[in-house]
Amino acid sequence: MDKKICTYICTGCGIGEAINIEELSEVVTGEMSQECKTHACLCGTEGKAFLENEQNGEGVNTFNICACSPRVMQKEFDFGDESITVRANLREQVIWTAGTPEEGQEESHQEWLQETASDYIRMSCTRAAKTELPEAFLMESMNKDILVMGGGIAGITAAIEASKAGSKVTIVEKADALGGKALGWAKQFPTSYPYADLEDNSIASMVAAVDADANITVKTGTEVARIGGSPGAFKVSLKAAGATTEWTAPEKVGVDEQDLIDKGEMEDPNAGLKPYGEENPDADTFGAVVLATGWVPADVSEFEHLGYGSNDKVVTNAEFEAMAKNGKLDGINTVAFVMSPGGEENDQDFPYCNSVTSMVALKQAKYVRENNADAKAFILYQHMRTPGHMELFYKGIQEDDGIFLTKATVTGVEDGTVHAKDTLLGEDLDLDVDMVVLAAGMVPTTKVENTINLAYRQGPAFLDLDLFDGYADSHFICFPYETRRTGVYACGGVRKAMNMQETMDDATGAALKAIQCIESADRGVAVHPRSGDKTFPEFFMQRCTQCKRCTEECPFGALDDDEKGTPLPNPTRCRRCGTCMGACPERIIGFKDYNIDLIGSMIKAIEVPEEDDDKLRILIFACENDAYPALDMAGMRKHKLNHMIRFIPVRCLGSVNMAWIRDALSAGLDGAMLIGCKYGDDYQCHFVKGSEIANTRMENIGDTLSTLGLEPERVRSEQVAITDYDKVPDLVNDFVDEIVELGANPFKGF
Ligand code: SF4
Ligand code: SF4
């Protein structure tokens, strides 16, 4: 595209009053050699008409809008697929965070305000000049069918809902029949007001609906052997349940293990299996995958004082359900439901217990009472969780004189006696019962086995499952259903413990996400969180040293590699986070609108004044997912930011290439900070690992700076949540104070 660039400075929202617009325009027309126009309100009716004429009359196709934050007015400044828009944030990050000058400081306040605005304009002019129009990656052939793994309530619901939306679906279920755990239920929770009575199990009618649906193919006694390919073209090999075939995905073998295998000291777990990249020519093709393999009951035998495994009177909730289903409750007239393992000073629940196990105890207490009106149930809990309408169910149970509920610490079970202390009755209890039921938790299948079997370079399973206790998820807060493998959407027990109604809602969501992913792949655009983004990483392979950093660090397994280590991109798996770009030491990965040269040139466009302690320059890379919006909101609240800071938004901290930091400090900037999402146990990074990876890189660059004679304290990585808008100004202002303490960068002027 032949670019016709013009910069538009909006003088509305107080920008015109705060900044000398004439001087600012001269920066554009003089230093930056670009055309510049001003308008009183670019987003208003007249402003839009003005810009429309600029596009259609004057032929402008690259708009540098210098006004409000790029996070707002996106529709107003969208000029279509054949035009480029870049933004300079003069409102939120210059005038709204400027504060008011102290008495006698008016002149210097005005001076630095002008300098700050000029730097943002320089950067946006550079960005406009360097940005290229993206072209979507379009697949040669596209399959829109959906594979559903698991034929329980989640899988059945996902299949039915996807079918209703017009998709063809195949359900793969390893058991001999559809239905999953629900086949073993005697009754199910109430689903309608007054939420008092248990309902007949509806799984048979759900299975019948699948059988009657011409869009749905069912393969029972079958498992996935291997999934290769990518959204729009997943290549799925199936196998008989429990069998191993040559297409079963190889396990990831570490360097040490490989050494032992090579020496013949360890058996090769992948002997006889095809390497990860090799496709099965007979594989079925699907557009997306719904992972609905559910959960398995947790092992409770570790709690020896409760006697499970050694005392016949102690069973799990799953075993008790089977007894109820098979009509084997006669003669069992007193039952204790133990919901927490207790022991000494322990108020924790059984592992993987949750609201569903609370409700199951209530349901099973009702079985006891419905079987025999004189029977009694004792529910001993530490935490009773009955969300939503289930609170009414709980209340109904409380009103039953034959069901006793108390908070209690169970100290042991001997024969048919349950010993408990710290009860709500204020006294210790010794309950003589016919049966003791332990609330075994619900462990996601992804925790115990790898059912997904990906033929990906990064291994057959989801990485870092331990971050989420084995649940298949990529971001609890923002992106339910999305796993760390694009195009694979999790629902039901594999994602979170949930009851039947919740599972059905969840499965519907996952089915819609699968359809959305297929449609996005068809249009060549990204899925969440950069939905609609047409760019994808491009590699200048001639300079690739096959170091494998990009393939190893991609959080989504989007990059395979060949035997030499040359990356093999799978564009429809890519979420466009740029982590590969940040990883590449050769700087050969980039996007049309976001690359090493583009951001590097923006950094160089910042004017670095000669040594002057009041004119230091501190660069902050702010992740556009949480940090940048938090900074914008700080601006909306008129929190003051130090005038020496310059922000550059980044897709993810993982995309920050350390070359930018080195270049910034070599160019004389005095400090650099990265602000991104939280990582660790409660991580919120929108690209799973990006902020953590960036932190590690920053630790390493600190060492590099020391060898250059620069203080490592000049670089820092911080984490914030989007709600930290009141804290983030202190975070950055304190960093500026520390840099001021250190003094100017000694490289300044060289
Ligand atoms: S690191 Fe991010 S941008 Fe790079 S290939 Fe992976 S998903 Fe795509
Ligand atoms: S990080 Fe860069 S040099 Fe290394 S394998 Fe990837 S593209 Fe090649």
Distance from C-alpha of 568 to C-alpha of 278, rounded to nearest angstrom: 13
pLDDT at 685: 85
Cα of 600 vs centre of ligand 2, distance in Å, is 19
pLDDT at 705: 85
- Measuring CA to CA, which residue among 198, 231, 150 is closest to residue 522? 231
3-state secondary structure of 705: helix
Q: Which of 48-62, 125-139, 240-254, 731-745 has the lowest mean pLDDT?
A: 240-254
Give bridge partners of residue 35 from the DSSP assignment.
6
What are 688-699's pLDDT values in tens digits?
888 899 999 988
Compute CA distances 589 → 481, 538, 539, 549, 664, whole Å. Answer: 29, 6, 5, 12, 20
Distance from C-alpha of 264 to C-alpha of 259, rounded to nearest angstrom: 9
Ligand in nearest proximity to the CA of 566 = 2
**Residue 82 confidence class, pLDDT cut points 50, 70, 90:** very high
Residue by residue, DSSP assigns 95-142 as ITTS--PPTT-HHHHHHHHHHHHHHHHHHHHHHHHH---------SS-
Distance from C-alpha of 739 to C-alpha of 750, rounded to nearest angstrom: 19
- Block residue for tokens 């705060």: 18
β-pairing, 233-240 vs 222-230, is antiparallel
Cα of 557 vs centre of ligand 1, distance in Å, is 8
- 83 has pLDDT over 70: yes
Are 365 and 377 a contacting pair, CB within 8 Å?
yes
Are 365 and 399 a contacting pair, CB within 8 Å?
no
Residue 338 sits at φ, ψ, to 5 deg, of -100, 115
Residue 66 sits at φ, ψ, to 5 deg, of -105, 100
Question: Residue 589: CB within 6 Å of ligand 1?
Answer: no
Q: For ligand 1, atom 6, name the residue with the nearest CA.
A: 554
Q: For ligand 2, atom 1, name the residue with the nearest CA.
A: 584
Distance from C-alpha of 166 to C-alpha of 601, rounded to nearest angstrom: 48
Burial 519-551 (b: 16+ CB within 10 A, else e): bbbbebbbbbbbeebbbbbbbeeeebeeebbbb
- 495 has pLDDT over 70: yes
Element of type H or E holding 510: helix 500-523
**Residue 62 confidence class, pLDDT cut points 50, 70, 90:** very high
Distance from C-alpha of 120 to C-alpha of 606, rounded to nearest angstrom: 8
Compute CA distances 305 → 315, 339, 343, 379, 422, whole Å. Answer: 14, 14, 7, 18, 17
Are 313 and 416 a contacting pair, CB within 8 Å?
yes
Distance from C-alpha of 12 to C-alpha of 28, rounded to nearest angstrom: 19
Query: What would the CATH number be for the domain defined by 146-249+275-296+445-523?
Result: 3.50.50.60
**Residue 113 confidence class, pLDDT cut points 50, 70, 90:** very high
Q: Which class for 718: exposed (0-12), middle (13-18), buried (19 or more C-beta within 10 A)?
A: buried
- CATH fold group of domain 1-133: Rossmann fold (3.40.50)
What are 356-386's pLDDT values in tens digits?
999 999 999 999 999 999 999 999 999 999 9
pLDDT at 172: 98
- Kindly give the number of the ligand 1 atom that is closest to the alpha carbon of 579: 1
Give bridge partners of residue 435 from the DSSP assignment.
335
What are 232-277's pLDDT values in tens digits?
999 999 999 999 999 998 887 878 888 999 999 999 989 999 888 7
Mean pLDDT (whole number) for 595-609: 96
What are 556-587's pLDDT values in tens digits?
999 999 889 999 999 999 999 999 999 999 99
Compute CA distances 349 → 407, 408, 495, 612, whole Å. Answer: 12, 11, 19, 60
pLDDT at 750: 64
Average per-residue pLDDT for the chain: 94
- 488 has pLDDT over 90: yes
Please state the domain extents for the chain. 1-133, 146-249+275-296+445-523, 299-440, 595-750
pLDDT at 279: 84
Are 112 and 135 a contacting pair, CB within 8 Å?
no
- Kindly give the number of the ligand 1 atom that is closest to the alpha carbon of 652: 2
Number of residues assigned to the chain:
750
Cα of 623 vs centre of ligand 2, distance in Å, is 23
Distance from C-alpha of 724 to C-alpha of 731, rounded to nearest angstrom: 10
3-state secondary structure of 551: helix
Residue 708 makes CB contacts below 8 A (sequence gap 6+) with: none
Cα of 135 vs centre of ligand 2, distance in Å, is 23
pLDDT at 749: 66
% of the chain exceeding 70 in pLDDT: 99
Question: Residue 596: CB within 6 Å of ligand 2?
Answer: no
What are 334-348's pLDDT values in tens digits?
999 999 999 876 788
pLDDT at 345: 62
Question: Residue 586: CB within 6 Å of ligand 2?
Answer: yes
pLDDT at 225: 95
- Measuring CA to CA, which residue among 86, 90, 82 is closest to residue 74? 86
- 323 has pLDDT over 80: yes
Compute CA distances 353 → 220, 268, 298, 383, whole Å. Answer: 29, 37, 9, 10
Residue 21 makes CB contacts below 8 A (sequence gap 6+) with: 9, 11, 15, 38
CATH number for the 299-440 domain, one of 3.40.50.2000, 3.30.300.280, 3.50.50.60, 3.30.930.10? 3.50.50.60
What are 499-509's pLDDT values in tens digits?
999 999 999 99
What are 216-231's pLDDT values in tens digits?
999 999 999 999 999 9
Compute CA distances 244 → 95, 148, 247, 417, whole Å. Answer: 65, 20, 8, 47
Compute CA distances 395 → 242, 365, 376, 409, 528, whole Å. Answer: 44, 13, 17, 22, 41
Cα of 692 vs centre of ligand 2, distance in Å, is 20
Question: Residue 688: CB within 6 Å of ligand 1?
Answer: no
- 487 has pLDDT over 90: yes
Burial 73-86 (b: 16+ CB within 10 A, else e): beebbebeeebbbb
- CATH fold group of domain 595-750: Rossmann fold (3.40.50)
Cα of 581 vs centre of ligand 2, distance in Å, is 9
- Kindly give the number of the ligand 2 atom that is closest to the alpha carbon of 565: 5
pLDDT at 457: 86
Best mutation site among 562, 566, 588 for ligand 2 pocket (most ligand atoms within 8 Å of CB): 588
**Residue 676 confidence class, pLDDT cut points 50, 70, 90:** very high
Are 335 and 314 a contacting pair, CB within 8 Å?
no
pLDDT at 63: 98
% of the chain exceeding 90 in pLDDT: 82
Q: Is the peptide bond before 609 cis (omega within 30 degrees of 0)?
A: no
- For residue 264, the tally of other CB atoms under 10 A from its CB is 8
**Residue 747 confidence class, pLDDT cut points 50, 70, 90:** confident
Distance from C-alpha of 464 to C-alpha of 178, rounded to nearest angstrom: 31
pLDDT at 103: 87
Question: Residue 578: CB within 6 Å of ligand 1?
Answer: yes
Distance from C-alpha of 62 to C-alpha of 131, rounded to nearest angstrom: 9
Cα of 719 vs centre of ligand 1, distance in Å, is 21
- 631 has pLDDT over 70: yes
Positive or negative CA dihedral for 214, 509, 469, 695?
Answer: positive
Q: Which amino acid is at 13?
A: C
pLDDT at 153: 98
pTM: 0.93
Positive or negative CA dihedral for 451, 452, 455, 458?
Answer: negative
Distance from C-alpha of 612 to C-alpha of 392, rounded to nearest angstrom: 68
Torsion of CA 261, 240, 289, 581, to 10 degrees: 10
- For residue 321, the tally of other CB atoms under 10 A from its CB is 21
Strand segments (E) across 392-487: 403-407, 409-414, 417-421, 429-432, 435-438, 442-444
Do the domains at 1-133 and 595-750 have one common CATH topology?
yes
Q: Which residue has the higher pLDDT, 681 or 468?
A: 468
pLDDT at 451: 85
β-pairing, 567-569 vs 559-561, is antiparallel
Question: Residue 474: CB within 6 Å of ligand 1?
Answer: no
What are 404-436's pLDDT values in tens digits?
999 999 999 999 999 999 888 888 999 999 999
Ligand in nearest proximity to the CA of 577 = 1
Compute CA distances 468 → 352, 463, 464, 475, 494, whole Å. Answer: 12, 11, 8, 9, 11
Mean pLDDT (whole number) for 109-119: 95
- 278 has pLDDT over 70: yes
The token pair at 441 is: 């938790």
Question: Residue 648: CB within 6 Å of ligand 2?
Answer: no
